[in-house]
């Protein structure tokens, strides 16, 4: 195995447990990145030539190396992949009653670039690096041994694959069902497996949806950025009086109606299609008020350079959502942008309370569930924040 040498002092983060090497940290005079093929394994060395571990290299990426082992000369082979997946599986099996969860969360499960969502017998995979793409047959055989899936769907339409120079055309094996059933918090959701712009289920909000539903009794609920209705339907099944779903996607709203009919057929349901910023202003102008609101936007800050603009969008949407709360109403405000930390989300909510002149208190602080583990040494792997806030 060839070696990749770091510049002076660039080994500190790695020694503290981090798994990523950035291209500007490599001594490219000694070990030019262009010598490596995308996905090639190498031993990582510090400036003195001491081995730090084994990694896979992608010369074309800003994150040009991801460690898979602390031992030198260790390939990312079928044995290592199987061992890591078995560990990930046992962590889920200990926590969850049934096989519906994110089975592998990339770096958080010490398998950089690999995300797997499990829906009973069906698996949806995202291979985000050239290294993982090259090991597809090893992954498939490890999964066949561990969980015997009936079908696999490779959800390749993700930005990470573009950065790694990989195809974004979807692939599948086995009879991929059109629709998947997801049991969660006592409800059953139907979601598409491989069709449409959004597929699958956001397992990361499971615990936050349960917490949200605690405030559902008798509530008029507004589910903003609803997708298939995860928050609103759970509230409806737990005693809400009515639920209004808002999303820009008509197919997502059709799923909301379907999931309401299956889980809470007697609760009044309304769907509003369109841009959330515009529709929320219209609801406010019409004098509509809700006692329980979920605000779960897509990531407004995808890259650090979008931070200022994204923060402004979070502030604006939180103010709009809070202005629709009836006295004593509860807002569940989420953010899945890694670049917006919990304190900043808190400030966006505080800004809304101050603008509206309403006392507000935080009732619950949540994050991504345990099937999206955060790597202890990689703050980058923590992304989801959820705050439940009561506005007097
Ligand atoms: N709350 C959902 C997940 C939301 S995903 C759950 O619990 O599963 C984000 C959703 O926001 C997607 O369904 C997408 O269609 C929608 N969306 C994105 N931009 C939007 C916009 N400007 N206005 C309204 N909806 C939007």
Top mutation candidate among 236, 275, 297 for ligand 1, by most atoms within 8 Å of CB: 297
Burial class (CB in 10 A: 0-12, 13-18, 19+), 256: buried
Two tokens, residue 46: 């510090």
Q: Which atom of ligand 1 is nearest to the CA of 276?
A: 23
Q: How many CB atoms lie within 10 A of CB 29?
A: 8
% of the chain residues with pLDDT over 70: 99
The answer for residues whose C-beta is within 8 angstroms of residue 210's C-beta and 6 or more apart is: 185, 234
Question: Tens digit of pLDDT for each residue in 236-263?
Answer: 999 999 999 999 999 999 999 999 999 9
Query: What DSSP line would sit under 101-140, residue for residue?
Result: EEEEEGGGGT-TTEEEEEETTEEEEEE-SHHHHHTHHHHH
Q: In what order do the strands lie in the sheet with 325-335?
A: 268-273, 242-247, 220-224, 290-295, 325-335, 385-391, 360-367
| Cβ atoms within 10 Å, residue 365 | 15
Q: For residue 34, give every residue at least 6 positions away whose Cβ sits within 8 Å of its Cβ, in sequence order, or none.
A: 59
Residue with the smallest CA separation from ligand 1 atom 11 is: 225
Could you read off the pLDDT of 101-133 as tens digits, one per residue? 999 999 999 999 999 999 999 999 999 999 999
pLDDT tens-digit map of 22-34:
999 999 999 999 9
Mean pLDDT over residues 88-100, rounded?
98
pLDDT tens digits, residue range 304-324? Answer: 888 899 999 999 999 999 999
Check pocket membership of 371 for ligand 1, CB cut-off 6 A: no
Which residues lie closer than 8 Å to 64 by C-beta, 6 or more apart? 21, 22, 23, 26, 33, 57, 58
Q: 298 CA to middle of ligand 1, Å? A: 6
Tell me the per-residue pLDDT of 171-210, one tens digit each, with 9 for 90 and over: 999 999 999 999 999 999 999 998 655 679 999 999 999 9
Please report the atom of ligand 1 found closest to the CA of residue 247: 25
Residue 159: pLDDT band by 50, 70, 90 thresholds? confident
Question: Considering the chain, what percentage of its residues have pLDDT values greater than 90?
Answer: 94
How far is the centre of ligand 1, averaged over its atoms, from the C-alpha of 229 (Å)? 10
- 172 forms beta bridges with 153
Is residue 249 lining ligand 1, measured as CB closer than 6 Å?
Answer: yes
Closest residue by Cα to residue 334 from 207, 184, 181, 183: 207
Q: Report the candidate in 41, 51, 12, 47 with the shortest Cα–Cα distance to residue 26.
A: 47
Buried b (16+ CB within 10 A) or exposed e, 262-284: ebbeebebebbeeebeebbeebe
215 ligand 1 Cβ < 6 A: no
User: Can you tell me whether residue 209 is helix, strand or coil?
Assistant: helix
Contact 330, 221 (CB under 8 A): no
Question: 161 CA distance to ligand 1 centroid (A)?
Answer: 22
Q: Does the reported pTM lie above 0.85? A: yes
């Amino acid at each position: 195995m060839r070696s990749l040498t770091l510049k002076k002092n660039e080994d500190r983060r790695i020694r503290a447990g981090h798994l990523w090497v950035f291209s500007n940290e490599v001594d490219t005079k000694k070990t030019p990145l262009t010598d490596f093929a995308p996905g090639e394994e190498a031993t990582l060395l510090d400036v003195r030539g001491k081995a730090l571990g084994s990694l896979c290299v992608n010369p074309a990426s800003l994150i040009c190396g991801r460690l898979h082992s602390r031992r030198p000369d260790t390939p990312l082979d079928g044995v290592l992949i199987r061992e890591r997946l078995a560990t990930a599986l046992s962590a889920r099996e200990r926590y969850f009653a049934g096989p519906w969860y994110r089975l592998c969360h990339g770096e958080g499960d010490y398998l950089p670039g690999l995300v797997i969502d499990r829906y009973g017998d069906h698996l949806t995979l995202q291979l985000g690096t050239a290294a993982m793409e090259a090991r597809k047959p090893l992954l498939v055989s490890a999964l066949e041994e561990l969980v015997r899936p009936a079908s696999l769907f490779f959800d390749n339409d993700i930005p990470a694959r573009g950065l790694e120079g990989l195809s974004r055309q979807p692939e599948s094996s086995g009879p991929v069902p059109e629709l998947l059933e997801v049991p969660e918090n006592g409800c059953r959701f139907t979601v598409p497996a491989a069709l449409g712009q959004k597929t699958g289920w956001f397992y990361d909000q499971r615990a936050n949806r349960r917490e949200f539903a605690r405030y559902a009794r008798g509530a008029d609920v507004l589910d903003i950025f609803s997708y298939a209705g995860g928050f609103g339907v759970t509230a409806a099944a737990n005693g809400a009086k009515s639920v209004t779903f808002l999303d820009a996607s008509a197919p997502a709203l059709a799923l909301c109606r379907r999931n309401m009919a299956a889980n809470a057929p007697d609760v009044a349901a309304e769907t509003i299609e369109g841009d959330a910023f515009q529709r929320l202003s219209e609801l406010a102008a019409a004098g509509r008020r809700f006692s329980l609101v979920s605000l779960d936007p897509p990531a407004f800050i995808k890259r650090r350079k979008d931070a200022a603009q994204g923060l402004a969008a979070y502030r604006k949407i939180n103010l709009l959502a809070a202005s629709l709360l009836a006295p004593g109403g509860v807002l569940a405000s989420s953010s899945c942008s890694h670049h917006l930390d919990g304190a900043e989300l808190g400030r966006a909510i505080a800004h809304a309370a101050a603008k509206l002149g309403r006392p507000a208190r935080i009732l619950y602080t949540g994050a991504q569930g345990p099937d999206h583990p955060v790597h202890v040494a990689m703050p980058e792997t923590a992304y989801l924040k959820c705050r439940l806030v009561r506005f007097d």
